[in-house]
């Protein structure tokens, strides 16, 4: 097995207590990366992820913050820098959904989703770029969604937030490229997470009919791509939208 080229680096993964964030944190830890596990409410699950990170031989700790609140993001990043000394890799994964048709959507439903998903990506990225520029190395990996490119009824707020992340990624990639800091976005299709697991069998069948490969993805399908994009092997990839969706975007 080849030795990891990012062993000893330090990462912050937002929304890392469950699902895609958890997998991203663990796949990075497998590569010898030390990981700060951000959570908002799921403290127990975050502590479980930290325990798994340490079992893999890397260092880790849980850090609470609502990424949609700039003051909490600053406190979180300060805590990670105090513990690790630096942040080399940022995975902007934290996100929420609050679905309904636009005619029924409240201002609060719109605001909360945009605030967490899009504003949170901005706040966290802004908080780490200065040190990445200074050390002339960094990785920012944003988690988007297929609906950011294709839309979905009942998800105007979520689709807008994820489309915004794609534009944000491309612009930031151009800002940071000459400092060896890459910025990419991974757009999952339907992945087996808590959100999908609660859906009824009829809706699941409808989802499967839209996936050329015929099955739902696993969080590790995203986690492995995240770990690759964080590595030196992906040093010449930036500003890209990478779909991991079983062929849905084709």
Respond yes or no: is residue 158 known to be catalytic: yes
142 found inside a domain:
yes
pLDDT for the residue numbered 198: 64
Q: Is residue 29 part of a domain?
A: yes
Q: Is residue 197 part of a domain?
A: no
CB hemisphere CA count around 54 (13 angstroms): 10
Count Cβ atoms below 10 Å from residue 120 Cβ, excluding itself: 29
Does 84 fall in a domain? Answer: yes
Q: Closest by alpha carbon to 62, among 88, 31, 40, 29?
A: 40
The pLDDT of residue 53 is 98
* Closest CA relative to residue 245, chosen from 198, 179, 190, 193: 190
Decide if 95 is inside a domain: yes
**Total-model pTM:** 0.96
Share of the chain above pLDDT 70, in %: 97
Residue 3 placed within a domain: no
Q: CB of 128 within 8 A of CB of 140?
A: yes
1: pLDDT strictly greater than 90: no
pLDDT digits (tens, 9 = 90+) for 81-131: 999 999 999 999 999 999 999 999 999 999 999 999 999 999 999 999 999
pLDDT in tens, 53-87: 999 999 999 999 999 999 999 999 999 999 999 99
| Residue range 128-139, pLDDT digits in tens | 999 999 999 999
CATH number at residue 60: 3.40.50.720
Q: Is 81 exposed, middle or buried (0-12, 13-18, 19+ CB in 10 A)?
A: middle
Query: Of 123, 158, 215, 236, which is the active-site residue?
Result: 158
pLDDT, tens digit (0-9, with 9 covering 90-100), for 174-183: 999 999 999 9
Structural domain containing residue 137: 10-192+219-244
Three-state DSSP class for residue 89: strand
Residue 198 placed within a domain: no
CB 7 within 8 A of CB 227: no
Residues 189-242 have pLDDT tens digits of 999 887 676 667 777 788 899 999 999 999 999 999 999 999 999 999 999 999
Burial class, 180, CB count within 10 angstroms (exposed 0-12 / middle 13-18 / buried 19+): middle
pLDDT tens sequence across 139-155: 999 999 999 999 999 99
Q: Total structural domains in the chain?
A: 1
- Mean pLDDT rounded to a whole number for the chain: 95
DSSP state of 103: G
Q: How many CB atoms lie within 10 A of CB 146?
A: 21
């Amino acid at each position: 097995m080849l030795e990891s080229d990012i062993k000893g680096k330090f990462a912050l993964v937002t929304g890392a207590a469950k699902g895609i964030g958890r997998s991203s944190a663990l796949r990075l830890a497998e590569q010898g990366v030390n990981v700060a596990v951000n959570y908002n409410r799921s403290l127990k699950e975050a502590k479980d992820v930290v325990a798994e990170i340490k079992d893999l031989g890397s260092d880790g700790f849980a850090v609470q913050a609502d990424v949609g609140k700039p003051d909490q993001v600053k406190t979180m990043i300060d805590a990670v820098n105090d513990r690790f000394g630096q942040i080399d890799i940022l995975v902007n994964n934290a996100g929420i959904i609050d679905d309904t048709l636009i005619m029924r959507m409240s201002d609060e439903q719109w605001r909360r989703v945009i605030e967490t998903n899009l504003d949170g990506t901005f706040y966290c990225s802004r908080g780490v770029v200065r040190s990445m520029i200074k050390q002339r190395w960094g990785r920012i990996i944003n988690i988007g969604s297929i609906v950011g490119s294709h839309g979905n009824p009942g998800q105007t707020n979520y689709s807008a937030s994820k489309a915004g992340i794609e534009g944000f990624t491309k612009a930031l990639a151009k800002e940071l490229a000459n400092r060896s800091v890459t910025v990419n976005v991974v757009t999952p299709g339907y992945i087996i997470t808590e959100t999908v697991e609660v859906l009824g069998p009829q809706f699941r069948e409808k989802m499967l009919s839209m996936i050329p490969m015929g099955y739902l993805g696993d969080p590790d399908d995203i986690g492995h791509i995240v770990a690759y994009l964080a590595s030196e092997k992906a040093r010449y990839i930036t500003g890209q939208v990478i779909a991991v969706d079983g062929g849905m975007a084709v």
